[in-house]
Structure 1
Amino acid sequence: MTDPDVRASIMRAVYEALCESGYTELTAQDIADRTDKSKSLLFYHYDSKEDILGDFLEFLFERFDERVAETRDRPPVERLAVFVDWFLYGPEENDRQSFHVAMLELRTQAPYNEAFREKLRKSDDQLRAVLEEILRDGLEAGEFNEHDPEETAALLIAAFDGARIRQLTIGRDEYLEEVRRGTATWVFDDLLAEDASFPADRDPSTLPEPDQQHRLAADLGDGGNGDADESTDDDPAERDRE
């Protein structure tokens, strides 16, 4: 993909289609219908639906890196709060929930799809590196007490990811808030220096735009996707690639 505008348009279409249909029901035609391209033109840029989704995961990594860079000049405690918000969002945020359901479906394919597994492993490494950087910066700034950043990052990500998965799969919305409060009480209380405090009652859904660094919808869902191409001929060769 050489044209950034074309790629961004397709990635936005993938985002919208995943939110609406989820992974299981997603087809290349669903994606094409949300762009100004026919399915055959979509496959001019990608070899298969899996190839498109692989690039979508890569696109998310890039956007996440940009969001992290936007918060890097903030105090470590604030950056930690933004990181927590990325996982423990409010249950009423339907666009984010739909997206994370679709991403959970992608993760279930990883044991059978080496390409997905490699991308998701990269995502896990990326998340841990970001959190470890925040924790190390907090140590250097005197905002955090002495601790092992690698072990602490692994513990926090497992807790946050587990809370989100349980909320998505069994519908226990209160789990996100309980884990947020428990983390603030039992983990951050020991982690933070005496004169630092974590905003345990922070509500991600009511934050001003500069603090909503986790919101992919702001990057991918806005602005429309143009008029879809009326040409939607679906020959057998193309259908085999869905």
Structure 2
Amino acid sequence: MGDASADIMSATYRALCEHGYADLTMQRIADASGRSKAALHYHYDTKEELLNAFLDDMLDQFEARLACESADPAERLGTFLDAVFDPAAEVTGEFPVALLEIKAQAPYHEPYRTRLREMDERMRELLEATVAEGVESGAFADCDPETVARFVVTLINGSHARNVALGEAPEQGRTLVEAYLERTLGVSA
């Protein structure tokens, strides 16, 4: 599918931003893609199937943004926070609202829940490994890496909800996460 898949994912993103989850239709995605609705159905039988593929694509892109080859755990932690709190240029506008709408559908759509759980687990695993390495090397203060990872990911999720629901700037959430990490790990992230 290649280019067609990338074009459809991009159109899905644009349609989600413009219409939100509740008003998203295959026709609106087709309109955003410049393809016919029939062409979309050639690749995806249903809107849910297309959104599952979109969430998979989003997870792949997010994981690519989290990648950091640095041997320094503090640098990897900073890269992680940049990926979470300083989204890519194309992740702007109404997308955080649309993502929260998808999250709100997760209790009713197991495939959405599965993909969101995978994203959460990936963030926790990456954080836990980074913190464990930092503790082991002496770069970070002694702590329980699993607890730190779970707490930070919970703060990130809460920050996203506060951003969308209350208009709180992402920087406020990042400041809280950084303060927690500085107190817990003994270093600035």
Counterpart residue number, 2:63: 65
Could you tell me how far 1:155 is from its partner in structure 2? 0.4
Q: Do residues 152 (structure 1) and 129 (structure 2) align?
A: no
Deviations 1:71-94 (Å, cap 9, x if unpaired)?
23352212212222333349xx89
Q: Is the 8 A contact 1:19 1:95 kept in 2?
A: no
> Quick check: which one's helix share is greater?
2
**Normalised by the size of structure 1, how large is the TM-score?**
0.70
Identity among equivalent positions (%) equals 38
How far, CA to CA, are the matches of 1:177 and 1:120 in structure 2? 23
Does the 8 A contact of 2:120 with 2:153 survive in 1? no
Deviations 1:50-75 (A, max 9, x none): 10000010111222222233x23352
> 1:13 and 1:108 mapped to 2: Cα distance?
22
Residues of 2 paired with 1:181 and 1:122: CA distance?
Answer: 25
Task: Structure 2: give runs of 5+ residues left out of the alignment.
Answer: none
Structure 2: distance between partners of 1:31 and 1:184: 38
Greater relative contact order: 1 or 2 (C-alpha under 8 angstroms, separation 6 or more)?
1
CA contact (8 A) 2:181 2:188 kept: no
Q: TM-score, normalised by structure 2?
A: 0.87
Out of 79, 87, 101, which is 1:82 matched to? 79
Residue identity opposite 2:81 in structure 1: V
Contact 2:128 2:149 in 1 (8 A): yes
What aligned pairs does 1:122-161 form with structure 2 within 5 A after superposition? 122-161=118-157
Rounded Cα–Cα distance in structure 1 between residues aligned with 2:134 and 2:92: 29
Cα contact 1:61–1:123 (8 A) shared by 2? yes
**8 Å CA contact 2:20, 2:97 repeated in 1:** yes
Checking the alignment, whether the CA contact within 8 Å between 1:11 and 1:59 is kept in structure 2 is yes
Q: How does 1:17-32 map to 2 (within 5 A)?
A: 17-32=15-30
Partner of 1:45: 43
User: Is residue 191 from structure 1 mapped to residue 189 from structure 2 by the alignment?
Assistant: no
**Which residues in structure 2 correspond to 1:159-198 (within 5 Å)?**
159-173=155-169, 176-192=170-186, 196-198=187-189
Decide which moves more: 76-85 or 149-158: 76-85
- In the TM superposition, residue 8 of structure 1 has moved relative to its aligned partner by 1.0
Segments of 4+ moved more than 4 angstroms: none
Q: Give the deviation of 1:146 after TM superposition.
A: 1.5
Unaligned regions of 5+ residues in structure 1, if any? 199-242
* RMSD of aligned alpha carbons: 2.2
